[in-house]
Structure 1
Amino acid sequence: VDLESSDTLLTSTSPTDIRLMWHPLSSQHSRGAVTRYRIEYSAVDHVDTVFSVEVGGNETQFTLKELQPNQAYRLRIAAGTVVGFGVPSEWARHHTLAHYDHMIFAPTELKVRARENTLNVTWQPSPNHTLASGYKLSCREVEADDSTNRQRTAQTHTIRLRKKARYHLLTGLAHDRQYEVRVWAFNKQTEGAAAVWKGRTDRSTEKRKTSSPPPLRPIPLPPSSIQAKANSSTSIWLRWEKPRFSNVRIINYTVRCSPAGTTNASLVTYYTSSAQEVLLGSLRPFTRYELAVQSNGVDVVGPFSGTVEESTLPDRPSTPPEELQLSALDSSSVLVSWRPPLEPNGIIISYKILYSGNLSEPEHSWKNLSQDGSITSVEVQGLSSDTHYFFKLGAATEVGPGPYSAIKDVHTFLQKYELDIHAVTGIIVGVCLGLICILLCMCFRASCL
């Protein structure tokens, strides 16, 4: 059983691991059924100390972990049958990533499903994906040049994707060609490490017709008794049972997860589990998800099960109320209006308004006013005339309060003292009556004289 070094691919997803991928051997090279692979590796500086690990014969990739960052390693792989191991591949070298604090690691669980003219690419986020602002995906054709026994590469096409993307379908490819796909995260400062896949697209239908049809292979049935239960605001436990009737050995399962009713393929996420359960993480709070499970055999996959739905639990709002507006109504009142948070993560049960005439005061000294979650405007009264006031607003769900909005300010009007018309009229009438009485008295006195 011989393996060529060109059949293997090495990449790193973090400073402490190396991912090794290889192509299965054809029957004419394996000289029997491959039952296991043995991977040997050592640091280039310590070639006398060689470590080895064995994996099953149905595996085509393995990740070596707990390695040293920024270190050169050499690796080789040998295939084995029940008789024993064959000649290992040539030693291949790989340098682990440097352990920088701001380095973006490679995406994990990169999977590519090859069809005749398409490659269906899925992946999981980088371990430190919070540093990323998006993903990039490149695809290039890699073909062997028979005349020089080397590889020639075609033009590389790079696609920029959103941070939430976990899926992309490459179309318009040539059939039966070797391609290399890379996916990596990036931000404004740097480009992250890439996850890499190499493989071939399927042969064309016309070529298949000229050759003998492949034997029909049984496919595994989908799992049964699928149950989903929310575990937190960002995770759901999904459990299932093996198919009740199946003549195919199931090696693992694929879980499809997407927000209920979505038509956006980039929001669909795939998980792999060798057990009959999986904890789906990195979900949105208070969101309903559609979940389905697929059984996978050796080089054969079955259909997805029917979907089940489950909602994640609510959480505190992750964003403050939006569009906070302040309008002075008079010398002692201000109209406050707003819109609900963009990410409420639950049902808003209340809003809390904090305000103060002194920006330097600690928050607990600010006056507060609570409002029902269905209200988006309120008139704040009892303020001082001709005064600068500062306001901020927060929302709360049943779980707790979220962040406050940015502080906004408003100036109340100067109070104007106006005369009471009724009081002034009474005074004038009283004065007039008094004057009339005085005049009458003066006239009566004059007549007596």
Structure 2
Amino acid sequence: FRSTEQETQSPGKPAYVRTRTYTDSVIVSWQPPEEDIIVRGYICGYGEGVPDVNWKYVDASNRNVTITNLKASTQYVVSLRAYNNYGKGPVVYDLIYTREESDGPTPDTLTPPSGLRAKILSPNTAWLQWNDPSLGRPQTITDNRYYNVHYQALPNGKTLSVIVKALRVVLYDLVPGTKYEFKVRTVLDASASPFSVSAFNRTFETAPGSAPRSVNVEGIDQSNNVRVQWRTPRQPNGDITGYIVFYTQDQDLPDREWHVNALPGTSTEAFLGPLSANTTYFFKLQARNSNGLGPMSDIISYFT
């Protein structure tokens, strides 16, 4: 437990806020704020056409809340914010519409899977397991139902999917050092359930799988100072923690005899010099993360 004095800043925005609507309710799910600031709980507000007419306080350990007793075919504004003893954090808003009432069965008559768990097995694989409330106990499949699993690299990866006839699946070919969102729905004949509440997890990091890209060297003044610029590796396989710029007049020297300049992982340029005039220099770069060094970039030359 941390005292109030230690909480000198309110939390950031909840991450990956999702909503799933029904005729008279909505499920709101989220992940904690990205910042490393203590969260005491969450406040979920809602109102018909306007935000924060009503409030629900949610424990810090929860990742979803259900709002009930809503009107069908109605617009609501849902808000979510984290709070601690210092104060409330910034709010996330979402405009939703509850579903229309229907006298007959709809494609969403099946109950969505529950208790979805995502366990990372390696930098490239994840194990998912869930429950199907409509099966009862024991969880035994006796009909022709199957499960449609969707997963996406965050924040903007392409949504991929697999179909399985069991309550678990191992997903392969994931990107190392990447946060994923997972969700699953039940399909039986012509009916499909809503998707489950999402599960999130991050694959293990490995050393960068590719070199810094678009390396360029240019002179910046008459004193033979140069600017080296680059872009992040296409396959960082985690958070880049640093770059090493190598430069020399003799490209045949072993790496340990090149001049080096180490920079933090947020850098995309380095300033070197003054270099010797009327001389050809050779440059190459290497990225690193918490698991090691990646491959070298191609060597480029520059004449001062």
Range class of TM-score, shorter chain:
0.5 to 0.7
Question: 2:149 matched to 1:259?
Answer: no
Distance, in Å, in 1 between the alignment partners of 2:286 and 2:107 is 60
2:127 to 237, 251, 255: 237
Question: 2:218 matched to 1:341?
Answer: no
- Equivalenced residues, count: 196
Question: 2:271 matched to 1:379?
Answer: yes
Work out whether residues 223 and 241 of structure 1, in 8 Å CA contact, stay in contact via their aligned partners in 2.
Answer: yes
1:292 to 171, 183, 208: 183
Query: Which residue in 2 is equivalent to 1:68?
Result: none
Distance, in Å, in 1 between the alignment partners of 2:180 and 2:114 is 19
Gaps in structure 1 of 5+ consecutive residues: 1-213, 413-449
Distance, in Å, in 2 between the alignment partners of 1:339 and 1:240 is 40
- Tell me how far 1:217 sits from its aligned partner: 11
Query: Which residue in 1 is equivalent to 2:204?
Result: 313
Distance 1:390 1:292, change over 3 A: same
Work out whether residues 352 and 393 of structure 1, in 8 Å CA contact, stay in contact via their aligned partners in 2.
Answer: yes
- Tell me how far 1:330 sits from its aligned partner: 5.2
> What's the secondary structure of 1:395's corresponding residue?
strand
> What's the secondary structure of 1:404's corresponding residue?
coil
- Tell me how far 1:277 sits from its aligned partner: 1.7
Distance 1:365 1:278, change over 3 A: same
Equivalent AA in structure 1 for residue 127 of structure 2: W
Work out whether residues 249 and 298 of structure 1, in 8 Å CA contact, stay in contact via their aligned partners in 2.
Answer: no
> What's the secondary structure of 1:403's corresponding residue?
coil
Equivalent AA in structure 2 for residue 223 of structure 1: P
Work out whether residues 288 and 312 of structure 1, in 8 Å CA contact, stay in contact via their aligned partners in 2.
Answer: yes
The one-character-per-residue Cα deviations of 1:376-417 (angstroms, maximum 9, x if unpaired) are: 3323236444321100112111122222222111123xxxxx
Work out whether residues 250 and 295 of structure 1, in 8 Å CA contact, stay in contact via their aligned partners in 2.
Answer: no
Question: 2:174 matched to 1:280?
Answer: no
Distance, in Å, in 2 between the alignment partners of 1:368 and 1:215 is 69
Work out whether residues 291 and 307 of structure 1, in 8 Å CA contact, stay in contact via their aligned partners in 2.
Answer: yes
More helix by share: 1
Question: 2:160 matched to 1:269?
Answer: yes
Distance 1:261 1:364, change over 3 A: closer
Equivalent AA in structure 2 for residue 233 of structure 1: P
Work out whether residues 219 and 297 of structure 1, in 8 Å CA contact, stay in contact via their aligned partners in 2.
Answer: no
Query: Which residue in 1 is equivalent to 2:297?
Result: 405
1:356 to 236, 248, 253: 248
Distance 1:388 1:217, change over 3 A: closer
Question: 2:293 matched to 1:396?
Answer: no
Distance, in Å, in 1 between the alignment partners of 2:194 and 2:159 is 17
Greater relative contact order, per chain length (Cα 8 Å cut-off, separation 6+): 2
Work out whether residues 229 and 236 of structure 1, in 8 Å CA contact, stay in contact via their aligned partners in 2.
Answer: yes
Distance, in Å, in 1 between the alignment partners of 2:123 and 2:292 is 13
Work out whether residues 260 and 289 of structure 1, in 8 Å CA contact, stay in contact via their aligned partners in 2.
Answer: yes
Work out whether residues 242 and 264 of structure 2, in 8 Å CA contact, stay in contact via their aligned partners in 1.
Answer: yes
- Tell me how far 1:326 sits from its aligned partner: 1.7
Aligned CA-pair RMSD: 3.4
Query: Which residue in 1 is equivalent to 2:64?
Result: none
TM-score (norm: length of structure 2):
0.54
Query: Which residue in 1 is equivalent to 2:53?
Result: none
Distance 1:217 1:354, change over 3 A: closer
Distance, in Å, in 2 between the alignment partners of 1:300 and 1:327 is 62
The one-character-per-residue Cα deviations of 1:357-389 (angstroms, maximum 9, x if unpaired) are: 122333343332211222333232364443211
Distance, in Å, in 1 between the alignment partners of 2:216 and 2:107 is 66
- Tell me how far 1:309 sits from its aligned partner: 2.3
Query: Which residue in 1 is equivalent to 2:93?
Result: none
Query: Which residue in 2 is equivalent to 1:183?
Result: none
Distance, in Å, in 2 between the alignment partners of 1:281 and 1:319 is 20
Work out whether residues 220 and 246 of structure 1, in 8 Å CA contact, stay in contact via their aligned partners in 2.
Answer: no
Matches within 5 A, 1:117-156: none
Query: Which residue in 2 is equivalent to 1:369?
Result: 261
Distance 1:245 1:363, change over 3 A: same
Work out whether residues 108 and 192 of structure 2, in 8 Å CA contact, stay in contact via their aligned partners in 1.
Answer: no
Query: Which residue in 1 is equivalent to 2:23?
Result: none
Distance, in Å, in 2 between the alignment partners of 1:332 and 1:292 is 56
Query: Which residue in 2 is equivalent to 1:421?
Result: none
> Based on CA coordinates, which of the two structures has the bigger radius of gyration?
1
Distance 1:322 1:353, change over 3 A: same
2:118 to 228, 243, 246: 228
